[in-house]
């Protein structure tokens, strides 16, 4: 009886393994890996970061606060015209090294929706540090109408929502270029249509967003900062969007190292305690 139960259990595990394998094969087929190659598969390029990478990368990475401040400047002067930061409060800018007075002054330059206390009607007012960054459009219909029927996504979590994270954002911002002759010869239908722009780092190679950073010096940095080339501005805003997506990134890593150190120390103590407790016990001789 026990042998029969063992055989049935073995058959059950075998069935589960075969089912998982079949499911994986179907997934591969469904995702198009076994289908005819498309323009997206053939000419899509992998994301890459700036030369030298980002300072926050790696297990010992830290924030470059000067870069984060430059990235915020690029967002405010360029990206905020179309993209929102729904999950970022203005007071969070203090984490970038701004003083409380600087944050208050920055908030005063931002207009948010309000209510007239006398009439109850909708109005606008200068933002407070406790306010969140306002959306550039009142609704999705208005956003689509202003952007070739494409709704600009919120950027708060973009660095975590896209494969490649900040490297993807950097590649996208610096990757606008006319489609190659090879692409047009092999896939003539891949040419960007009206209102679209070719970018080999985008999923389907063409997107509605026009190049937001078009010339060096488009944003004027304060004295002492790097030259605001397209590559530098792209790297700066990519780093800033990594911070908006995961502001506790560096602190989380530091906490992790402290926890690992404690666990290592506790393990060593436990080993010595074990040696001490069992020191008087001699092995049994048969």
Could you report the per-residue pLDDT of 109-125, keeping only the tens digit for each? 999 988 888 888 888 99
188 vs 34, more confident: 188
Instruction: Categorise residue 148: left if φ over 0, alpha if ψ from -120 to 50, beta otherwise.
Output: left
Through-space distance between the first and last CA atoms of the chain, rounded to whole angstroms: 39
Residues 197-245 have pLDDT tens digits of 999 999 999 999 999 999 999 999 999 999 999 999 999 999 999 999 9
Specify the pTM: 0.83
pLDDT for 34 equals 43
pLDDT for 93 equals 97
Residues 132-158 have pLDDT tens digits of 999 999 999 999 999 989 999 999 999
Dihedral of CA 236/238/243/244: which sign? positive
- pLDDT mean over 36-54: 88
Q: Is residue 285 over pLDDT 90?
A: no
pLDDT for 121 equals 86
* Side-chain-facing half-sphere of 180: CA atoms under 13 Å: 11
Residues 243-281 have pLDDT tens digits of 999 999 999 999 999 999 999 999 999 999 988 888 777
pLDDT for 41 equals 81
Mean pLDDT taken over the chain: 89
Cβ contacts of 78 within 8 Å, gap of 6 or more: 212, 213, 218, 219, 233, 237
Task: Please provide the CATH number assigned to the domain covering 41-85+151-246.
Answer: 1.10.760.10
């Amino acid at each position: 009886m026990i042998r029969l139960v063992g055989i049935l259990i073995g058959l059950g595990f075998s069935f589960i393994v075969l089912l998982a394998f079949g499911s994986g094969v179907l997934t591969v087929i469904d995702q198009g890996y076994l289908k005819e190659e498309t323009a997206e598969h053939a000419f899509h390029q992998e994301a890459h970061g700036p030369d030298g990478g980002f300072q926050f990368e790696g297990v010992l990475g830290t924030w470059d606060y000067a870069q984060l401040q430059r990235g915020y400047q690029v967002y405010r002067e360029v990206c905020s015209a179309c993209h929102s930061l729904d999950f970022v409060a203005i007071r969070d800018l203090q984490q970038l090294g701004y003083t409380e007075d600087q944050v208050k002054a920055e908030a005063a330059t931002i207009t948010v929706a309000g209510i007239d206390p006398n009439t109850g009607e909708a109005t606008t007012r200068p933002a407070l540090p406790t306010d969140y960054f306002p959306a550039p459009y009142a609704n999705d219909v208005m956003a689509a109408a202003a952007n070739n029927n494409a709704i600009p996504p919120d950027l708060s979590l973009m660095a975590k929502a896209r494969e490649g994270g900040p490297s993807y954002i950097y590649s996208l911002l610096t990757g606008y270029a006319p489609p190659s002759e090879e692409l047009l010869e092999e896939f003539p239908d891949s040419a960007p249509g009206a209102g679209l722009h070719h970018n080999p780092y985008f999923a389907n190679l063409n997107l509605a967003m026009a190049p937001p950073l078009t010339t060096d010096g488009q944003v004027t940095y304060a004295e002492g900062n790097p030259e605001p080339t397209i590559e530098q501005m792209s790297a700066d805003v990519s780093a800033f969007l990594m911070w908006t997506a995961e502001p506790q990134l560096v602190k989380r890593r530091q906490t992790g190292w402290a926890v690992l150190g404690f666990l290592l120390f506790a393990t060593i103590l436990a080993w010595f305690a074990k040696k001490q407790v069992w020191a008087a016990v001699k092995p049994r001789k048969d």
